[in-house]
Amino acid sequence: MDKRMKTCVLVTALMISFSSTIFAENKNPVDFSSVSTILESLKKQPSVNVSKQGGWEIVSLIENGNHVIWFFAPLDHTAYPALIKKTIRVKSKGIETEITTLCEASKPKCDSLIKQFKSMSEVYK
């Protein structure tokens, strides 16, 4: 398992102790045309936090009252360009997370990225 991906998931996992996860695969998370356009647009928004961990660019913000974390794959990742958007919602039963992806690489590489992220999300749930 990729060390950089583990680092990103671990950071997120520390923020979420108990959650249910909904995967919304391969749907455009916002009305933008590409991963790079989304990253540029997010960086222009007020009150965003941008960091880099293990080569991944991570953007976090509050969106509609929910904590949202965007993971942008590094240049050397096999699924680049790709992003994973994790929306964290507080519900009466606990915390729910929704994962949305946008991947511009080949389908097998994108499927692999999603599978990798799903399995790590289950480990750190």
Q: pLDDT tens digit string along 25-54?
A: 434 445 568 999 999 999 988 889 999 998
CB atoms within 10 A of CB 62: 10
**Long-range contacts at 102-110 (CB < 8 A, ≥ 24 apart):** 102/26, 102/28, 102/29, 102/35, 102/38, 103/26, 103/35, 103/79, 104/34, 104/35, 105/78, 105/79, 105/80, 105/81, 109/78, 109/79, 110/26, 110/79, 110/82
Based on the structure, what is the number of domains in the chain?
1
User: How far, in Å, CA of 68 to CA of 78, rounded?
Assistant: 24
pLDDT for the residue 24: 44
pLDDT for the residue 22: 43
pLDDT for the residue 32: 66
pLDDT for the residue 54: 87
pLDDT for the residue 125: 55
pLDDT for the residue 59: 96
Tell me the residue range of the domain where 109 lies: 3-123
**Low-confidence residues in the chain, pLDDT < 50:** 1, 5-29
